[in-house]
Chain A
Amino acid sequence: MAGGGFDAPEVGGGKGSKHKQKKGAGVRIDMTPMVDVIMLLLTFFMLTTTLAAPQLMKISLPKGDTKDKVKVDMGNVLYVRCSDKGNVYFSSGKSDGSESELRKVELKNVASELEKLFALNNNLLLLLKFDRKMKYNVMADIFDEISRAKIEKRYAFLKMEEADFQKVTQAGG
């Protein structure tokens, strides 16, 4: 492979070529045009390609009609409320229908807090009550935390009622 070019097989006679060339002439193919074209193609594909495939977070809403009432033991309920400022509050329900004081939880600790609570009671149902004025981003973050927590995911989205607003405002908004 002298010079790295393509070594052509011996050209069989013909055209009265000289004796020297018959022995093994190095035919060099000019690769420059090919490289040019390949470079163009490469640039094109590099610029048009989108590499990072989007991630998906699955959400499943409860099956059945909205009118269907599901009986839940209020003792197994964990309220997750979020204010319009993006503050997250936990409170646990009690069997008599009341609920505990709201406790502020940092967004980055939601997953670990959930794991702690589920270690005590594995049948917890998360009731998510988010302020309508809250940013979608915060919801995605909370959902990210819930998805990452190593717990059995049972959750329901509920509307934030007037009473919830008051509770959240009392706890610091």
Chain B
Amino acid sequence: MKKVRDIRKPDIKIDMTPMVDVIMLLLTFFMLTATFKAAESEAIEVALPQSVYSDPDNKMKETDVLTLSLTKGGDIFVDVDNYKIREKIFGDQFAIGLFRPDTLTQSPVATTGKVGDKDLKRKVVIMNRAQFEKILVDLKNTLRSFSNNKNANFQVVIKGDKDTEYGVFEDLMASLHESDNKMFSLVTTIKADKKE
């Protein structure tokens, strides 16, 4: 009786243990390497330039990063990763600073609220050059007052769009120099070296 049933509908059992093992490994890997980006920071999209060179001992810090994003349109966005500092300096937890070196034209963000073709859902604080330089100093002082470390400092990183005019960067460098931020880093993506 049993034999007949086996032939008609063989009871096949697939062993799932190896599959589960592999999936568990993958899951652990992705869970450990995952870094979550705050959704609000993604509104400013820049096409980063590529570089072969990368400082082996100069990595992006996890906290206390001051990001300066240079958009194609010539705007400079100032952002820090600490919402408490943002609240103190810009008056809102999700606010972001905007400085436009070119005073003759107006930033499209001020009129349309859009960066590129994406809506910027954050409150924008528009600054002139003097205010921008003051805020760079204020940000540092606020960080120091919060962390009780007199030497605490931001890691200043510049995310420039490929098609930004160099003039924007030149003005930014002048302001950084003026506000005593003499070390900063350019963020790039990896380019394979074709010569070697």
Contacts and interface: CB of A to CB of B under 8 A. Distances in A.
A138 interface: yes
B195 A49 contact: no
Contacts of A11: none
A57 to B, nearest CB: 4
Interface string A96-133: 00000000000010000000000000000000001111
B7 interface: no
Contact of B24 (A38, A60, A62, A133): A38
A42 B30 contact: yes
Contacts of B49: 136-137, 140-141
Contacts of B119: none
Nearest to B17: A4
Contacts, number: 151
A3 B188 CA distance: 52
B177 A66 contact: yes
A41 B26 CA distance: 10
A91 interface: no
Given A49-B34, A54-B188, A59-B185, A148 B53 contact: yes
Given A56-B59, A56-B60, A144-B188, A48 B34 contact: yes
Interface in B5-53: 13, 15-17, 19-20, 23-24, 26-27, 30-31, 33-37, 48-53
Nearest to A130: B166
B160 A53 contact: no
Interface residues of A, number: 49
Interface in B148-179: 157, 160-170, 173, 176-178
Interface string A49-82: 1111111111111110010000000000000000
A159 B177 CA distance: 14
A132 B167 contact: yes
A58 B58 contact: yes
Contacts of A148: 52-53
Contacts of B110: none
Contact of A42 (B27, B53, B169): B27
A171 interface: no
Interface in A121-173: 130-141, 143-144, 147-148, 157, 159
B142 to A, nearest CB: 23
A136 B164 contact: yes
A47 to B, nearest CB: 9
A139 B191 CA distance: 15
Nearest to A40: B27
A48 B36 contact: yes
Interface of B: 13, 15-17, 19-20, 23-24, 26-27, 30-31, 33-37, 48-55, 58-60, 70, 157, 160-170, 173, 176-178, 182-191, 195
29 contacts: A5-B15, A31-B20, A35-B19, A42-B30, A45-B31, A46-B30, A54-B60, A55-B53, A56-B54, A56-B187, A58-B184, A59-B184, A59-B185, A66-B177, A133-B165, A134-B165, A135-B166, A136-B49, A136-B161, A138-B166, A140-B49, A140-B162, A141-B49, A144-B188, A144-B191, A147-B53, A148-B52, A157-B170, A159-B170
Given A59-B185, A132-B165, A136-B164, 12 more contacts: A35-B23, A38-B27, A45-B30, A55-B190, A56-B58, A56-B59, A130-B166, A132-B167, A136-B168, A140-B51, A144-B51, A148-B53
